[in-house]
Chains A and B, each alone.
Chain A
Amino acid sequence: MREMISMVVVLTVLSAFSGGMLAAVRTGTQDKIENQVLKFQKAPAIKKILSNVSNDPLQDRFKLTDNDQEITFFVGKVDNKPQAVVLEGKGKGYGGDVGLMVGIDIETDAVIGVWVTTHSETPGLGSRAKDNPDFVSQFSGLGLDKVFAVKNDGGEIDAMSGATITSKAVCMAAKQVQELYLRLKPEIQKQTQQMAN
């Protein structure tokens, strides 16, 4: 009995201590990580999607809140006029969340392009979503009235062979952005109009 109690107590105290330590480290590094992610993950994806804009979308960004979640919108301008917004969605993949940047033309409500930012999918299979642009290029030009899902689920997208779950995760992320954009459209328009002036 004594041994039993000591086992429980030691493990509990140890776990509590490690939990506290991790929370402290996480709080301490959060801002730094956010900056690094912006610089190394999001910036390249945004640049690839908004290849012919005249401004720096990383500077022209605004935040909106939806269901207590803060979403960052990056605005692409042509001739000083807001033309597109880019935002990130997430889908559940094989090895965790798959982050997807989606660029949307604010006049035609069509997807300009999408690009995978973060993922922990299997190298060589799921990772092709990021390494091989063929898959994500299927989204380019799709209107927001289309169904963002793989063909088996009644959508428009050909899944990657051997990486069905990753394909679905990318579609899920795109769908999340689609819903978010349509829901927040009035607010997005208000923000972009402010930027035009």
Chain B
Amino acid sequence: MAQSMVKEFTKGLWAEIPPFRLVLGLCPVLAVTKSVENGIGMGIATTFVLVCSNFLVSLLRNIIPTKVRIACFIVIIATFVTVVELMMQAYTYPLFLKLGIFIPLIVVNCIVLGRAEAFAFKNAPHLAIADGLGMGIGFTLSLGALGAVRECLGSGTILGNAVFGPGFQPFTFMVEAPGAFVCLGLMLCLMNLIGKK
């Protein structure tokens, strides 16, 4: 049991790391990774939703009729997203302001619904939690990495601390939307290169 949990957990970290390998849930990936802080905050919020919804879907998998499963998934996911939204408003308000509309949009993030449909609905709760946690952490790391590259080049900072000397000219292209695509493409390319060996 422990072994299969580890397997489900680790696949989300590399072999099926969501934005790069599955290329799913790109909307928040591209939109919020202007800085490391935003990326990781978004990642943690998504992880919470993923773990909770995976667990609940898996728990109810024998009760939910197949015909209305998607509707049930959406109700479950939307509930947890709203919980996250309220929690963020109560405890991390500045981050909530920066992420803005992308927090409620976790509801339509393909990863969350995708994992519920493809994994949690067919597997036992402990595996579903491991899967959700792995996918969520993989997602958080990807967003953090993408955010780090973009923040570093685009604003010359990492987590708000300057990394270059005062003579640095920010490469503002990187913090705009096209920069996000280019950066994601290059990172995908790099991952495929490493993966090939």
- Number of B interface residues in the complex (CB < 8 A): 24
Q: Is the C-beta of A183 less than 8 angstroms from some C-beta in chain B?
A: no
- Number of A interface residues in the complex (CB < 8 A): 22
Q: Is the C-beta of B79 less than 8 angstroms from some C-beta in chain A?
A: yes
What's the minimum C-beta distance from B86 to chain A, rounded to whole angstroms? 5
User: Complex Cα distance A22/B81, Å?
Assistant: 10
> Which residues B98-138 have CB closer than 8 A to chain A?
100-101
| Residues of B close to A194: CB separation below 8 A | none
Chain A interface, >50% SS class? helix
- B89 close to A36 (CB less than 8 A): yes
Q: Mark B35-65, 1 if CB is under 8 A from A, else 0.
A: 0000000000000000000000000100111
> Which residues A4-39 have CB closer than 8 A to chain B?
6-7, 10-11, 14-15, 18, 21-22, 25-26, 29, 32-33, 36-37, 39
- B72 close to A10 (CB less than 8 A): yes
> Which residues B54-103 have CB closer than 8 A to chain A?
60, 63-65, 67-68, 71-72, 75-76, 78-79, 82-83, 86-87, 89-91, 93-94, 97, 100-101
25 contacts between A and B (CB under 8 A): A3-B65, A7-B67, A10-B63, A10-B64, A11-B71, A11-B75, A14-B60, A14-B72, A15-B75, A18-B75, A18-B78, A18-B79, A21-B83, A22-B79, A29-B87, A29-B89, A29-B90, A36-B93, A37-B93, A39-B93, A40-B94, A41-B97, A95-B101, A120-B100, A120-B101
Apart from A15-B75, A120-B100, what 14 extra A-B contacts exist at CB < 8 Å? Answer: A3-B65, A3-B67, A7-B68, A10-B65, A11-B68, A11-B72, A14-B72, A14-B76, A18-B78, A25-B86, A33-B89, A36-B89, A37-B93, A95-B101
